Amino acid sequence: MTDDKYKIQKIDDYRWRIPREGKMRVDGIVYADARMLEDIQKDESLQQVINVSHLPGIIKHSLAMPDIHWGYGFPIGGVAAFDMDEGVVSPGGVGYDINCGVRLLRTGLYRVELANKLESIVNTLFANIPSGVGSRRKDLKLSQQAAKNVLKDGAHWAVSQGYGTKEDLEHIEEKGCIQGASPELVSNRAIERGLAQLGTLGSGNHFVEVGYVSEVYHEEVARVLGLEKDGITVMVHTGSRGLGYQVCDDFLRVMINASHKYNIELSDRQLCCAPISSPEGREYLAAMACAANYAFANRQMITHWIRESFDRVLHIGPKESKISLVYDVCHNIAKIEEHIVDGEKRRLCVHRKGATRAFPPYHPHIPDAYQSVGQPVLIPGDMGRCSYVLVGTEKAYTDTFGSTCHGAGRIMSRGQATRSTKGRNIAEELKAKGILVRADSRATLVEEVPEAYKDVTDVVDVVEYAGISKKVVQLKPLCVIKG
């Protein structure tokens, strides 16, 4: 199959090549099936894959996952790795919501035990976890120094303040703290925005979802992850809130100047960047780490209030609810990692924007408990369908810099979704399916209506058939809180 606009070539049923030409330094590789590819070509995300391939020092390929859609600079669902000496770092390859990510909690509870408790649970979660645009915690007052400690120490700070346990830290990417964070590089405006938003959900596609294990595909792996049929789970999806947005905004201005300073030719101004080894590059990575650590702390504190909410509604304690962390992964991040390129180990700066790390079994950067099965990969769907837990593979490590998809991927803009749902009551539609939902505003529900997204099952099937992730369990929602 060939597309006239992008000259797309079929590699196999789940991979497509955009061959290198003109100023492209590498090929583009897109993970999708034929039907998905047709939808992907309806926006400019493939052009963004090409634009990324122009950047200096890019290694092997400019990659796109099956949940790809148009984003700022890089496509959402884009992955690119850069040489440490000749390559660049770009805020557009991380995004505004730095370390937007997902964590999954397992419990000692089963679906039948919550049958008559769901309304109380969703109402208590909604009351306990502030959500919506500009949401803030009134019961948590951070000083400037405490905020800087959050930026430096991430989830470790939260645990030190009583929000969770040291065991939680073992099950978070980078153990909940990216090293090299420099709070002095984060603007006062960014810190001010973060002071009152720690422990809040925010808006848009962020959520807390109580669900259950509806299907088990690999019994042994599921057992290692502590997941079993009909077991209750809780998924948290949120990021670095206004602080991360401000860090990105501040450094976009820095990077525009740096692109001129270092004579980097940009095919898109939104790809503004700096050499990784330059002062501007190093400073962005250090400030980005601060925002990522804030996000880790944010999800850790929300976890504390989830545990508290369950215990309050069910009148039980932690020993009975057994709410523990399966894993926590980043979606929007640039990280220095070691990978094999042409048979040699090399340190690279890997940008994952709307993409998830998927390291294989026995990789040193995954928890000891999961060494035999690989890193857990958490793929949330929309609030009306299902989500998946997968594990990373050796093929992901060799082919995609240890990366896979991150979710369903939008197919409607928020404006389109709003127009298409005029006159509908989304909360009642979901209730009819057995899913209770609470949201800060009706606008969020209509913007996040299930049909605004690809079916996550289709996306997950592509990455499994392509061999870059292995499906373990399916999760179905019971109740959801949204911003």
From the candidates 54, 156, 363, 406, give the one annotated as an active-site residue: 406
The Cβ of residue 145 has, within 10 Å, a number of other Cβ atoms equal to 9
Taking the C-alpha atoms of residue 150 and residue 148, their distance in angstroms, rounded to an integer, is 5
- Strand-strand pairing, 9-12 and 231-238: unpaired
Taking the C-alpha atoms of residue 463 and residue 471, their distance in angstroms, rounded to an integer, is 9
Taking the C-alpha atoms of residue 38 and residue 363, their distance in angstroms, rounded to an integer, is 36
Per-residue pLDDT of the chain (483 residues; tens, 9 = 90+): 444 688 999 999 999 999 999 999 999 999 999 999 999 999 999 999 999 999 999 999 999 999 999 999 999 999 999 999 999 999 999 999 999 999 999 999 999 999 999 999 999 999 999 886 777 776 788 899 999 999 999 999 999 999 999 999 999 999 999 999 999 999 999 999 999 899 999 888 899 999 999 999 999 999 999 999 999 999 999 999 999 999 999 999 999 999 999 999 999 999 999 999 999 999 999 999 999 999 999 999 999 999 999 999 999 998 899 999 999 999 999 999 999 999 999 999 999 999 999 999 999 999 999 999 999 999 999 888 999 999 999 999 999 999 999 998 888 888 888 888 888 999 999 999 999 999 988 888 888 888 888 899 999 999 999 999 999 999 999 999 997
Closest to 159 (Cα-Cα) out of 63, 301, 324, 261: 301
**Taking the model in full, what pTM does it have?**
0.96
Taking the C-alpha atoms of residue 445 and residue 451, their distance in angstroms, rounded to an integer, is 12
Burial, 227: exposed, middle or buried (Cβ in 10 Å; 0-12, 13-18, 19+)?
buried
Could you please report the per-residue DSSP string of 18-40? E---TT-SSEEEEE--HHHHHHH
List of domains in the chain: 9-93 (no CATH), 101-482 (3.90.1860.10)
Find how far residue 473's CA is from the centre of its chain: 19
Query: Element (H or E) spanning 388, and its range?
Result: strand 387-392
Taking the C-alpha atoms of residue 248 and residue 243, their distance in angstroms, rounded to an integer, is 9
The Cβ of residue 319 has, within 10 Å, a number of other Cβ atoms equal to 7
C-alpha distances in angstroms, 50 versus 5, 88, 312? 12, 16, 52
Find how far residue 69's CA is from the centre of its chain: 14
Q: Assess whether 304 carries a catalytic annotation.
A: no
